[in-house]
Amino acid sequence: MKILIAEDDPVSCRVLTANLKGWGHEIVVTNNGIDALEALQQDDAPLLAILDWMMPDLTGVEICRQLRAENDKAPIYIILLTALNSKESLLEGLEAGADDYITKPFDRHELRMRVQAGARIVSLQNNLRQRVLELEEAIVERQMAEETLRSMSLTDHMTGLHNHRGFYNLAEHHAKMTRRSRTKSLLIYADMDGLKQINDTMGHQAGSQAITAVGEVLRNTFRECDIVARLGGDEFAVLAPNVATPESRKLIERLRNNLKAYNDAGYLPFELSLSIGAVEIDHTYEFGIEDQMAKADAEMYRDKRHRKAQLTQRT
């Protein structure tokens, strides 16, 4: 790791440099506060700095204050080097924004541990910043993908949900963006029960009403960030990102409850019913959306058979 040492005492400076180099760090040395501040304000500035408290022109504490006032830069982990060992002095340093301190004369092993702790924090901060950047990029890409979808009219005109192509487009994009992340997603495949019967006995207009109503229930059940689609005919699919296992069950339960509430309200002269298959997608492993859809489809058929069997038992 690149580390800046600002120390005006040549002996202490040499001792620090030799130790840190021996531990494999790249060292930038300055012997006054002004040069140190300038070096830390560069674009490729070291992300860990060991600053002597008492230096000509600008003290380590003053450098801390100035750096902390600049919010737009990557945070630099600052270790103050001090021969002052009063509690008040240390508090003043920490209040000014120092992350840690080492008192002189320093113990080699303590120095090593404190630098290691600093390097670990810098590395965590870097990872976090990198992740935020990736997420920001993903959001922009998602927005662009949605925009493209809109422009290509990949919406199902009857329900206003995504259509087959729209769903696969967004789902593939989601799969790409979340690859190897630790989140899970829930994929639902839903098939309307008895649509053919509604069409046959009450006409196609009633069938269209049923499809629109299912679309409405799905939209009201899931979040705005979920990808809800009518794949065609009486088939629907939902991809709900970032859903932990307990939430999956709750989501399906909510869908069933909402469907029941819709039926209980008596909006339509027939009942809506869905066979539902759901799979949880673990993004730790690479996956193809087609394979997952096939699994969800199989689950849906299992549910349909189960429901039919229950119905037969009752009658």
Residues 38, 74, 95, 108: which binds another protein (CB under 8 A)? Answer: 108
Is 216 one of the binding residues for another protein (CB under 8 A)?
Answer: no
Q: Of residues 60-89, which lie at the interface with another protein (CB under 8 A)?
A: 83
Q: Map residue 266 onto helix, strand or coil.
A: coil
Q: Please state, in angstroms and rounded to a whole number, the distance separating the CA atoms of residues 287 and 180.
A: 10
Neighbours of 302 (CB within 10 A): 12
**Closer residue to another protein in complex, CB, 16/64:** 16
Q: Tell which positions 169-198 bind another protein, by CB under 8 A.
A: none
Select from 167, 183, 168, 171 the least CA-distant residue to 285: 183
Q: Which of 1, 4, 5, 8 binds another protein (CB under 8 A)?
A: 8
Quick one: 93 or 207, whose CB is closer to another protein?
93
104 binds another protein (CB under 8 A): yes
Q: What minimum distance in Å lies between the beta carbon of 104 and another protein?
A: 5
Q: Pick the stretch among 13-21, 176-184, 201-209, 286-294 that binds another protein (CB under 8 A).
A: 13-21
Tokens of 233: 């005919």
**Rounded distance between C-alpha atoms, residue 214 and residue 152, angstroms:** 24
Separation of alpha carbons 113 and 205, rounded Å: 74
Q: How many residues does the chain have?
A: 315
Contact range with another protein by CB under 8 A, out of 99-107, 176-184, 203-211, 234-242: 99-107
Say if CB 2 and CB 25 are below 8 A apart: yes
Between 27 and 175, CB nearer to another protein: 27
Q: Is the CB of 79 or the CB of 237 nearer to another protein?
A: 79
- Residue 106 sits in the site that holds another protein (CB under 8 A): yes
Q: Does 271 bind another protein (CB under 8 A)?
A: no
> Which tokens sit at 225?
């960030």
Confirm or reject binding of residue 56 to another protein (CB under 8 A): yes
54 binds another protein (CB under 8 A): yes
State yes or no: residue 113 binds another protein (CB under 8 A). Answer: no
Identify the residue whose tokens are 């673990």: 282
Alpha helix positions (H), the chain: 10-22, 33-40, 60-69, 87-95, 108-151, 164-177, 195-202, 204-221, 245-265, 289-314
Neighbours of 19 (CB within 10 A): 16
Q: Is residue 12 part of the contact set for another protein (CB under 8 A)?
A: yes
**Which residues bind to another protein, rule: CB under 8 A?**
8-12, 14-15, 18-19, 21-22, 54, 56, 83, 104-106, 108
